[in-house]
Amino acid sequence: MVKLSPSILSADFRKLEEQIRRVDKAGAEFIHIDVMDGQFVPNISFGCPILKAVKGVTDKVLDVHLMIEEPDRFIDDFIAAGADLITIHYEADKHIDRTINYIKSNGVKAGIALNPGTPVSVLKNLINIVDMVLIMSVNPGFGGQKFIPYTIDKLSELKEMAEERNKDLLIQVDGGVGIDNAAEIIEAGANVLVAGSAVFKDDKIEENIAAMKGVF
């Protein structure tokens, strides 16, 4: 079954609680929390206080995407704040095996994210120790960017690798996902779709989620 993970980066922060409740009620399975440090990516978003606040209003899977350098420094904090699934970038951690195992040893699910330019082949020895792989389909840092077409090939390649080495793998795609390309993305192998602007646009959260789910 394909899951939807709305990214609150595109939410209206003046009414975050209301927006989370609406996303929850409209049937999103995950809620995607984009953490940016202004170092790994050229933008700063938010951190644990927001995660804690979101945790207070929903029981959905809190899917935390850490776009931060040396994420191992903050794993304990994000676990304490309520993360259910923590994804770190392959490019940001010199000791990715250690960090993944540390996350899992705390009973939290772990994922690895790949920037568009990072090949799927780097996962050869890691795919069977993670719960999820996130294929970035834009260069991380901002919502509302255009989907990069070649990342479709990366999804197919990952799907093939997962069939051999980790059948339960969650294959997440993030960036520029909307109703126009969701079918193609799912066809290529993704089973968790992140969407920011496509979910929150025009404050039509319910309609947008229904339209997206109609494609699944």
Active site residues: 34, 174
User: Which span (35-43, 62-70, 77-85, 202-210) binds Zn ion, by CB under 5 A?
Assistant: 62-70
By CB under 5 A, residue 89 contacts Zn ion: no
Rounded Cα distance, 24 and 10, in Å: 15
By CB under 5 A, residue 34 contacts Zn ion: yes
C-alpha dist (Å) from residue 10 to 30, 45, 99, 147: 15, 11, 28, 16
Sign for the pseudo-dihedral over CA of 194, 34, 41, 143 = positive
* Selected binder of Zn ion within 174, 182, 189, 198 (CB under 5 A): 174
How many residues appear in the chain?
216
Nearer to ligand DX5, 47 or 176 (CB): 176
> How many CB atoms are located within 10 Å of the residue 123 CB?
23
Cβ burial, residue 142 (10 Å; 0-12/13-18/19+)? middle
CB of 129 to ligand DX5, least distance (A): 23
CB of 167 to ligand DX5, least distance (A): 26
* Selected binder of Zn ion within 60, 65, 89, 154 (CB under 5 A): 65
* Selected binder of ligand DX5 within 71, 111, 176, 189 (CB under 6 A): 176
Nearer to Zn ion, 12 or 163 (CB): 12
Rounded Cα distance, 25 and 206, in Å: 8
Kindly identify the residues of this chain, within the stretch 90-149, that bind ligand DX5 according to CB under 6 A.
138, 140-145
* Selected binder of ligand DX5 within 22, 32, 55, 60 (CB under 6 A): 32
Instruction: Give the DSSP letter string of 63-129.
Output: EEEEE-SSGGGGHHHHHHHT-SEEEEEGGG-TTHHHHHHHHHHTT-EEEEEE-TTS-GGGGTTTTTT
Detail the residues annotated as belonging to a binding site for a divalent metal cation.
Answer: 32, 34, 65, 174
| Residues within the interface to ligand DX5 (CB under 6 A) | 7, 9-10, 32, 34, 65, 138, 140-145, 174-177, 194-198
| Residues within the interface to Zn ion (CB under 5 A) | 34, 65, 174
